[in-house]
Amino acid sequence: MMFWRSVVGKLWITILLLVSFVLFILTVLLLEFFENYHVNETRSDLTNTALKISKILSEHNSDEMPISLEITWELIDDVTGVVVIEDYDTYYYSPNIQESGRLPVSYILNDKQLSRVFEENQTIDKVSFSPSGDGNGDTQYLIIGAPIQNGEWENGAVFVYQSLKVMKETTQQTTKFILLAAGVAIVLTTIFAFFLSTRITAPLRKMREAAFEVARGKFDTKVPILTHDEIGELATAFNQMGRQLKFNMNALSQEKEQLASILSSMADGVITFNRDGTILITNPPAEQFLSYGDYDQHKKGVNEADSLPAELMELFQLSVSTEKEQIGEIAFQGRTWVIIVSPLYNKKAIRGAVAVVRDMTEERKLDKLREDFIANVSHELRTPISMMQGYSEAIVDGIAETDDEKRDMARVIYDESLRMGRLVNELLDLARMESSHILLSAEPVEIGPYINRIIHKFQGLAKDNGIELYAELEDKDESFKFDPDRIEQVLTNLIDNAIRHVPAAGHVTVKQRMDEWGLVIEVSDTGEGIPEEDLPFVFERFYKADKARTRGRAGTGLGLAIAKNIIEAHKGYISVKSKLGQGTTFSFFIPRNFD
């Protein structure tokens, strides 16, 4: 089937049909010609024979009739019959024809056309079916009649006849020869046409193979130029096209690489949409923004994998519908982004939009810290100072009458001074860490016993508050290198915070896993969670999610800031994910080689 659909098959069939049609017409014409030729030749021969016999008989008298007939019989062949009619009663048949094949004299005399030989003394020819009654009624005969010009022969005539069956046999032989020649011509034409088609289509097949190679990206593919005709010119044009395609693709590739380099090196995120809102191009900052959006969508119960933040889609739709730039601000997971969406045009029509996403979290964080820093510091120091001042005034003014009251007031002043000292020491530690002056004493630590020991310290506190505290360790028998004292400080802070913010019957879980890159530890709780607007600031100094700053439940606000600096000193990172009413998860990662 593939052969008939190919150029070779179509060209071969076309040539074969054309030659076959021409041979068919030529064969029909030749057969018609030879049939007429044989008939005319037979008529001419029989007429000449009849005239010769008539002349011979005319030159001899009746006494010489036997000699004349002998000469006459010598002039005819085995398939030709002769009837010599001297008068209506006297006639002679040639001896080579059997009696059953003789032409009846009565038929000759009664036939209107043949009887004209006697009446008009002219030569007559006629094609007639056999009238002999020998069963050969379907056989045609060619009959030639010629008058005998002799004074002694008043109604004399000679009739020469021959069956057309002999002529048809000759015609059939000729037909067989012509058909054989036509068949040989068709076979030779088939071979020649196939050879010609192959020669013509061979360069085309090479071009087709080269085109497939070019389609697969191999633009160096060349088509050999074997001829200098139109096919050769086509091969030259194809090679030029390949070179131009390679040049254009290289230029496009360079432009694409330049665009990718520019996009990947940008601090701002770039998202390109088509008109229906499908994302076409993103860069790493934009992908990070979308990952935060996916987490937020999942927390909201939206399970579609390709769902985008509603605020972003609203800005995109406004930009496309109004054909104007739209600016908006999106906040989720404790981070804030400013988004600028501008329409993209394809000549005159809008074909999509481009969104520039700028992470404004740090700017917003700095703004908030500037507003809260003085209040936080004054609040943290004002309480112990006020208490120390109040109790000292009470002692000075003599309000405390007994020694026990004085000792109690002095104890409060002492505790508050220790608290102020602890606050100052933590501030100094934090300052040293942020100045990269922290020294780590790293050593291999067995993970299972280490974490279980830390959890054991808090089991009593957890039971007192009705909280279940447990660990899920994947590599409890493995060892990992880090500073055990510093990491214990981090875990102590995270577990203590979790216990203080989880209601009774809650859970606190410490999870550990290890891979080829490093160690990951998570501390999860089922507490009230952290408000979204507070997430960017939980690792800042003096920051507390509890806005009331309740002394009974809140610490100094420096623990998470210290934990962050300890993890960063190990070349790792710490993060938090939380939703109100769903709990909080703190996780930190320490790489294997942080030295």
DSSP per-residue letters across 363-403? HHHHHHHHHHHHHHHHHHHHHHHHHHHHHHHHHHTT---SH
Q: Report pLDDT digits (tens) over 362-416.
A: 888 777 766 765 566 666 677 678 778 887 887 887 777 788 888 888 888 887 7
Q: Which are the contacts of 541, defined by CB distance < 8 A and separation ≥ 6? A: 376, 427, 430, 557, 558, 561
Q: Where are the beta strands (DSSP E) in 254-299?
A: 269-274, 279-282
Instruction: Identify the domain boundary among 121, 149, 170.
Output: 170
| Residue 391 burial (10 A CB sphere; 0-12, 13-18, 19+) | buried
Instruction: Give the three-state DSSP class for 34.
Output: helix
pLDDT at residue 1 in the model: 47
- The Cα angle at residue 235 between residues 8 and 1, in degrees rounded to 5: 20
Which pLDDT tens digits describe the chain residue by residue (595 residues)? 455 566 666 777 777 788 778 888 887 888 788 777 777 888 888 888 888 888 887 777 766 777 777 787 887 877 788 888 877 777 788 887 777 777 787 787 788 887 787 777 788 888 777 665 454 555 778 888 888 876 666 668 888 888 777 777 777 787 788 788 878 887 887 787 777 767 777 777 777 778 888 788 777 778 777 777 777 788 888 888 888 888 888 888 888 888 888 888 888 889 999 888 888 888 888 888 888 777 666 655 555 545 678 888 888 889 888 888 999 888 877 788 899 999 988 877 888 899 999 888 888 877 776 676 556 666 667 767 877 888 788 788 777 778 888 888 888 888 778 777 767 776 677 666 666 667 788 899 999 999 999 999 899 889 988 999 999 999 888 999 999 988 998 998 899 889 988 988 899 999 999 988 999 999 999 988 888 888 888 888 766 665 443 334 456 677 888 899 899 889 999 999 998 888 999 999 999 887 6
For residues 365 and 540, the answer to whether their CB atoms sit within 8 Å is yes
**Is residue 509 a part of any domain in this protein?**
yes
Q: Looking at the structure, do residues 448 and 586 belong to the same domain, yes or no?
A: yes
Q: Looking at the structure, do residues 351 and 380 belong to the same domain, yes or no?
A: no
Which amino acid belongs to residue 34? Answer: F
> How far, in whole angstroms, is CA 225 from its chain's centroid?
32
192: left (phi over 0), alpha (psi -120 to 50) or beta: alpha
Tokens at 87, concatenated = 């008068």
Q: Where are the beta strands (DSSP E) in 419-496?
A: 443-446, 468-473, 479-482
Q: How far apart are CA 325 and CA 207, in angstroms?
A: 50
For residues 117 and 145, the answer to whether their CB atoms sit within 8 Å is yes
**Is residue 231 a part of any domain in this protein?**
no
Describe the chain by its helix, strand, coil percentages, rounded to 5: 55, 20, 25
Q: Looking at the structure, do residues 488 and 541 belong to the same domain, yes or no?
A: yes
Integer CA distances (angstroms), 295 to 277, 302, 331, 425, in order: 20, 10, 13, 38
**521: closest CA among 463, 554, 480?**
480
Instruction: Identify the domain boundary among 337, 359, 381.
Output: 359
The residue count of the chain comes to 595
pLDDT at residue 278 in the model: 87
Instruction: Give the three-state DSSP class for 221.
Output: coil
pLDDT at residue 446 in the model: 93
**Is residue 142 a part of any domain in this protein?**
yes
Instruction: Identify the domain boundary among 359, 375, 392.
Output: 359
Q: Looking at the structure, do residues 344 and 379 belong to the same domain, yes or no?
A: no
Q: Looking at the structure, do residues 321 and 376 belong to the same domain, yes or no?
A: no
Instruction: Compute the CA torsion angle 488, 490, 494, 496 (nearest 10 deg).
Output: 50
**Is residue 199 a part of any domain in this protein?**
no
Q: How far apart are CA 454 and CA 488, in angstroms?
A: 7
Q: Report pLDDT digits (tens) over 367-380.
A: 776 676 556 666 66
CATH of the domain at 473: 3.30.565.10
Q: Looking at the structure, do residues 352 and 389 belong to the same domain, yes or no?
A: no
**447: closest CA among 590, 595, 571?**
590
**Is residue 429 a part of any domain in this protein?**
no
Q: How far apart are CA 555 and CA 558, in angstroms?
A: 8
**Is residue 81 a part of any domain in this protein?**
yes
| Greatest alpha-carbon span in the chain | 203
**Is residue 94 a part of any domain in this protein?**
yes
pTM exceeding 0.95:
no
**95: closest CA among 78, 111, 110?**
78
Q: Looking at the structure, do residues 460 and 586 belong to the same domain, yes or no?
A: yes
pLDDT at residue 302 in the model: 52
- Taken in order 146, 149, 153, 155, is the CA torsion positive or negative? positive
**Is residue 83 a part of any domain in this protein?**
yes
Q: Looking at the structure, do residues 454 and 578 belong to the same domain, yes or no?
A: yes
Neighbours of 295 (CB within 10 A): 14
Identify the domain containing residue 164 by its residue range: 49-170
Q: Looking at the structure, do residues 408 and 525 belong to the same domain, yes or no?
A: no
pLDDT at residue 550 in the model: 34
Q: How far apart are CA 408 and CA 403, in angstroms?
A: 9
Helix 164-215 × helix 7-59 angle, to 10°: 170
Q: Looking at the structure, do residues 585 and 462 belong to the same domain, yes or no?
A: yes
Q: Looking at the structure, do residues 387 and 484 belong to the same domain, yes or no?
A: no
pLDDT at residue 234 in the model: 80
Q: Looking at the structure, do residues 355 and 384 belong to the same domain, yes or no?
A: no
CATH of the domain at 314: 3.30.450.20
**387: closest CA among 364, 403, 411, 352?**
411
pLDDT at residue 18 in the model: 82
Tokens at 258, concatenated = 């330049």
Q: How many independent structural domains does the chain possess?
A: 4
